[in-house]
Amino acid sequence: MNIRLITLLIAFVALPTLAQAAEKSATADVSERATLLKTLNRGATVTSNNQQYQILPDVRAAESLSQEQPQQTLTRHGGSKLIETKGAFVVFTAAPQSIASVKSVNGATSYPTVINPRTRRIGILPGTLSVKLKNMDSAAAVATDHGLEVVRIFAHLQAAFYRVKPGQDVVAAAVSLTADPRVVSAEVEVIEHMAVAR
């Protein structure tokens, strides 16, 4: 009984110290991330869901395999520094990319990223485009003419979702689609809001 009481007293006394240490660590992580984000190169601006984003040519995202730790995903993709995890995705610094393309090398797929300057959140470009069409009869032809894969067609919404092929620049595809007279509008899909863990 006395040992339990002593253990509880020690835990009670140590708890504020442990909480302060955890708070300092979290503050240091936030500060380190903010500093890193300030130093990253920024590329072209894209709009998705009425939000402005800037391409991060030095940052990639990759989905972790089952039972894989973030550091293992980073190593598998040749990344330099872990920035954060977003759900099953690991976001990391990598060699600068000249185009915003989905890359698949030896079965390992990585995705371009963007930053929302307003929220300072990193978003992932999965290579999907949301396209409003003037005539739904042209949906398949538009995909073929732009070298895209049809993901889904919503005739009642006059919309189609297309996916770029590996190595194809998703931002350039959106620009090309926008210039197509059969297209009303084309937007790059951005995944910004996910469960974030460190």
Domain spans of the chain? 1-39, 45-125, 128-188
**Single-letter code of the amino acid located at 49:** N
The tens digit of pLDDT for each residue in 141-167 reads 999 999 999 999 999 999 999 999 988
Q: Which of helix, strand or coil describes residue 50?
A: coil
Average pLDDT of the segment spanning 168-186: 95
At 4, the pLDDT band (50, 70, 90 cuts) reads: low
More confident residue, 115 or 2: 115
Average pLDDT of the segment spanning 57-63: 92
For the chain, the 3-state helix, strand and coil shares in percent, each to the nearest 5, are 35, 35, 30
Q: Which of helix, strand or coil describes residue 21?
A: helix
pTM recorded for the entire structure: 0.77
Average pLDDT of the segment spanning 117-131: 93
Q: What is the rounded CA–CA span in Å between residue 196 and residue 30?
A: 13
Whether residue 111 is predicted with pLDDT greater than 60 in this model: the reply is yes
Domain topology for 128-188: Alpha-Beta Plaits (3.30.70)
Average pLDDT of the segment spanning 60-80: 88
Provide the β-strand partners of residue 191: 124
Average pLDDT of the segment spanning 7-21: 56
Whether residue 11 is predicted with pLDDT greater than 90 in this model: the reply is no
Average pLDDT of the segment spanning 35-62: 87
Average pLDDT of the segment spanning 110-132: 93
Radius of gyration of the chain (CA): 22
Q: What is the rounded CA–CA span in Å between residue 170 and residue 193?
A: 20
Average pLDDT of the segment spanning 37-49: 84
- With helix as H, strand as E and coil as C, how does 121-181 read? EEEECCCEEEEEECCHHHHHHHHHHCCCEEEEEEHHHCEEEEECCCCCEHHHHHHHHHHCC
